[in-house]
Amino acid sequence: MKVSRFVTYWNNNPDKRAEILEARRARRAADPEFAELERKAAKERRERKKKPSKRRARGPARPKFLFHNNLRVELWSLGRARAYLELGKGTLSAWERGGRIPANHFRDEVGRRWWPRLYIEFLKPFVVARISREISAQEFVARVESAWQKATHIPRIAEVNHDRDHDCSRRHHRRPDHCAGDPHGEDRR
């Protein structure tokens, strides 16, 4: 770390440092206005240190857009979706894996999941009712499934996720039996 010449001088001359500090003490004792100005300056320095930097705090990723059936679909990240639904980190994914809600997400090239905004907004009233314990878990699943069958305005993104051109070597395919049906038409055994 590079140090200024003043700091080097201050650290290498303890006698001169003591002399300067003694002169400041004497001036503070003799001049109350000077003492007050020094106290204010010190307080401002401490407050400046406490403030967070001006860098933008990381939050949920910005929405992505996808064209599906000639419609522009806004996709929300897991963080944005769970914040909107007021759920814990793994709840949305666990509900999808467990079949409590229909799987309707898109994976990008990195393997992150993205949900259509309309789908998340569709789930909101059911999630609110479930969290407030107005409905049971079984009733939650039944209501979501029933409403999902009737909701034709929500794009079905999950249907285009794994078509015949998908690459099973991608890292997001964690289950070894993922390609058991072998959509490539080849025997992989």
The 10s digit of each residue's pLDDT in 30-47 is 999 988 998 999 898 888
Q: Which of 155, 159, 160 is nearest to 120 (CA)?
A: 155
pTM, two decimals, is: 0.54
* Separation between Cα atoms, residue 133 and residue 109, nearest integer Å: 38
DSSP character at residue 133: T
Helical axes 78-85 vs 117-131, angle rounded to 10°: 40
Encoded tokens for 31: 């001049």
| pLDDT tens readout for residues 47-90 | 887 766 666 556 667 888 888 888 888 999 888 998 899 998 78
DSSP string, 165-189: T--TTSTT---TTTTTT-TTSS---
Task: Tell me the pLDDT tens digit for each residue of 140-177.
Answer: 999 999 999 998 888 888 754 444 344 444 444 444 44
DSSP state of 61: P
